[in-house]
Chains A and B, each alone.
Chain A
Amino acid sequence: MRVLVIEDDAQLCGYLAKAFGEIGASVDLAENGRDGLFLAAGNRYDAMVVDRMLPELDGLAIIRTLRASGNPTPVLILSALGEVDHRVEGLRAGGDDYLVKPFAFSELHARIEALLRRATPGDAPVTHLSVADLELDLLKREVQRAGQPIALQPREFKLLEYLMRHAGQVVTRTMLLEHVWDYHFDPQTNVIDVHISRLRAKIDKDFEQPLLQTVRGAGYMLRAD
């Protein structure tokens, strides 16, 4: 995985380089907008992390320029501005995801993985998802495991669908709140954990192999290993 980081905070840059290095990704760094745009236009990256406020060239301007020239590289915007309208502005400019500072690296990593998955070509609309012996039919809205039907509440279905679409990836609690519940907010208690354990009770309890796993310090992952 090759990632371009355009960020003017040297300390954060160093940290990101080190952290990406540890998960085996190669990182190019740019400390201002102009260098960043040069690098992005002249190389192929799997993903880009762009700070919103940069010297010389604004982060949103870089993204607009890239998109105008037909560059489809998934972009994650980093910003200290976290209000909904800022987020909408960033996504309209062509960003694929928006992360507010300060953030945990595990969150950034999980989101970039999700972006990479989205970027892989899979043109035909998905109607059926499966992980190991767990199957989810999006048209009939049915779930079964090892041939046994499992009854789920609508929200549980949505939660499982999101986890299955990102099977094998870490999914953070914030990502779940944003995509399954569609609210940008800060729960004072880990309400998501309880939803996960309910879902787990339904899909894992009577089966030998647990599929829904907790990734400590990061979030959850659905996988068959």
Chain B
Amino acid sequence: MALPASARRAWRWLRASRFTLTSSTFRLALLYMLLVGVSVAILLGFLYWSTAGYMARQTDATIGAEIQGLAEQYRRRGLAGLSTLIAERIARNPQGASIYLLTQPNGTPIIGNLDSWPPVAPDGEGWVQFRTQQASAGKASVEHETRAKVFRLRGELRLLVGRDARELAAIRKLVLDAISWGLAITVGLALLGGWLMSAGIARRLDIINQVSREIMQGDLTRRVPSAGTGDDFDQLAENLNRMLERIEALMLSIRQVSDNIAHDLRTPLSRLRHRLELLRGSMRDEAARTEVEVAIGDADELLSAFNALLRIARIEAGSRRAAFADLDPLPLLRDVAELYEPLAAESRQAIEVEGAGGDSGNDRGACRLHADRDLLFQALANLVDNAIKHTPDGGRIRLRAHCTSEAVELSVSDDGPGIPAELRDKVLQRFFRIDESRAAPGHGLGLSLVQAVAQLHGATLSLEDAAPGLRVRLHLPKPARVDFNLPGCWDRAPAGALLGQPVGPAASRYGQQAVPPPKGVPR
């Protein structure tokens, strides 16, 4: 069915404006329409009753008055006088609306413009309603609704006086038509008004929703704009913004506290480590030496967690942009795969590298990134390391680079158990570990670091279901856009600025553990 283009456009516009059955906009508009419709219907009903009803009553009164008049004439001038009067009146409007019939007590008509007595019995007050055949000149006879009153004169004569009700019916129809149209227009206007009104509300709610979504995606610097009118919505926006500021401040202070603790504890911890190293050198007893080496290993683990924490803080502070350079991500992926391949092979896991876009001859140079080589390598290494740890033996890990003209997308996917949807946000938090993985070595900072690296690059990090397994995607915008598209990287300094001393990727300095981790750790 080919809808006219304008209808399709209107439909698209309606859909785009979220005017759906479930939207509060729609429900509000409907409710408004119902309310206005019902009140207008009541009002018009009253109007109808008082106009059409008044006219009916008026007709009844006229009939009553005429009967009174005719009865009076009969009393004064007798049957002859009454007959003359009725004849006169009939003559005055031969096709008119007035109907008269005077009969003998046995029902034989004396005079009147009605052929016979109506077949309907009158009610208690003498009112009767019936249809009359009236032959109009040159036309077929037409049936008319007639309302009449029956009156008994002295001498058992019966008099009927009526009015053709067609005028009344016409007027009633006119009024009803007017009322229907009025109601329809009112409902239409109410619907439009309701929609306009609620669309205004919905638009402002939409803005708040949009901002909330962005904040939930991690951009805590976003604020709800205010219309400047000081109305309820502005107050809501103001309250939300105040709440956000509070949340941001709290988060920042938590981060600062943990960063400061990490920084302050690092110095005594490295002294402890130095002392242990010296102690080990001076020991002759082999068993005691082994104990000291275990202690050094423990200190190394702590230091590596602190260093990772501080490193994340440094990256988040965005001060590493100086090391950014143009690079092709594919060799980087190959290097990561190559570095981790023997480790994966120990669990009979395979690592595959797949590149699209950048390698084809005509598309040369398409796969370029403006990135910090070491940090990107670190992020990918963390992801592959995680994948190896969490994928069962014989699994497959896939590294993929996909390049388009706008962005480069790097992904690491495995066919392990994956991460339940409700935990995917949480695993990006510092120190968060899924219960099942607590037994595995690590400190729960790997993904936080990946996220920090992603943020520094203006990239978005997303965790998805690879069915089965987990896919981690890094969506990096192209060089030209990176420079302009980095909100928050420069202005988010506080986390790092508060640290007295910057730190480096020093965890590796302590990479050599006195006692290597047991090989049989359950993965």
> Interface of A with B (CB < 8 Å)?
11-12, 15, 18-19, 22, 79-86, 99-107, 155, 172-174, 177, 181, 183-191, 193-195, 197-198, 216-219
Contact = CB atoms under 8 A, between A and B. Distances in A.
B385 A102 contact: no
Nearest to A102: B270
A177 B508 contact: yes
Given A104-B510, A194-B342, A85 B320 contact: yes
A186 B511 contact: yes
B273 interface: yes
A183 B377 contact: yes
Interface string B110-151: 000000000000000000000000000000000000000000
A20 B508 CA distance: 22
B377 A185 contact: yes
A193 B304 contact: no
B277 A105 contact: yes
Interface in B290-311: 293, 296, 303-304, 307-308, 311
Contacts of B345: 194
B446 interface: yes
Given A103-B509, A183-B377, A186-B304, A84 B320 contact: yes
23 contacts: A22-B278, A22-B282, A80-B502, A80-B503, A83-B323, A83-B502, A85-B320, A86-B504, A100-B505, A102-B267, A102-B269, A103-B509, A104-B509, A173-B512, A183-B373, A183-B377, A184-B508, A185-B375, A185-B508, A188-B382, A189-B385, A195-B342, A217-B293
A103 B273 CA distance: 9
Given A99-B509, A198-B342, A181 B335 contact: yes
Given A198-B342, A217-B514, A174 B508 contact: yes
Contacts of A101: 270, 506
B34 interface: no
Contacts of A84: 320, 323, 372, 374
Nearest to A86: B504
B334 to A, nearest CB: 11
Which 9 A/B pairs are nearest by Cβ-Cβ distance?
Answer: A82-B504, A102-B270, A194-B342, A100-B504, A185-B378, A186-B507, A217-B514, A84-B323, A100-B506
A82 B277 contact: no
A197 B514 CA distance: 17
A183 B380 CA distance: 12
A1 to B, nearest CB: 17
Given A11-B271, A102-B303, A185 B374 contact: yes
B501 A194 contact: no
Contacts of A195: 339, 342
Contacts of B505: 82, 100, 184-186
Contact of A83 (B274, B320, B385): B320
A187 B508 CA distance: 7
Contacts of A217: 280, 293, 296, 512-514
A190 B511 CA distance: 8
Given A15-B275, A177-B508, A188-B381, 4 more contacts: A12-B274, A83-B502, A185-B505, A187-B508
B517 A190 contact: yes
A173 B511 contact: yes
B319 interface: yes
B346 interface: yes
B479 interface: no
- Size category of the B interface is 35 or more
A181 B339 contact: yes
A102 B377 CA distance: 22
Interface of B: 266-267, 269-271, 273-275, 277-278, 280-282, 293, 296, 303-304, 307-308, 311, 314, 319-320, 322-323, 335, 338-340, 342-343, 345-346, 372-375, 377-378, 381-382, 385, 388-389, 441-442, 446, 501-514, 516-517
Contacts of A219: 512
Contacts of A184: 374, 505, 508
A199 B510 CA distance: 23
Given A216-B514, A217-B512, A188 B274 contact: no
Contacts of B269: 102
Nearest to B340: A191
A28 to B, nearest CB: 20
Contacts of A106: 277, 512
A187 B509 contact: no
Nearest to A178: B508
Given A83-B320, A186-B304, A217-B293, A191 B343 contact: yes
A187 B504 contact: no
A36 to B, nearest CB: 21
Contacts of A105: 274, 277
Contacts of A15: 271, 274-275, 278
A189 B516 CA distance: 10
Contact of A186 (B267, B307, B323): B307
Contacts of A102: 266-267, 269-270, 273, 303, 506, 509-510
Contacts of A85: 320, 322-323
Nearest to A98: B504
A125 B278 CA distance: 39
Nearest to B271: A11
A130 B339 CA distance: 26
Contacts of A216: 293, 514
Contacts of B314: 83
B26 to A, nearest CB: 52
Among A15, A19, A218, the one with the most B-chain Cβ atoms within 10 Å of its Cβ is A15
B516 to A, nearest CB: 6
A185 B340 CA distance: 14
A172 B512 contact: yes
Contacts of B322: 83, 85
B298 to A, nearest CB: 13
A104 B377 contact: no
Given A85-B322, A104-B277, A183-B377, A174 B501 contact: no
A12 B267 CA distance: 10
Contacts of A18: 278
A70 to B, nearest CB: 31
B430 to A, nearest CB: 15
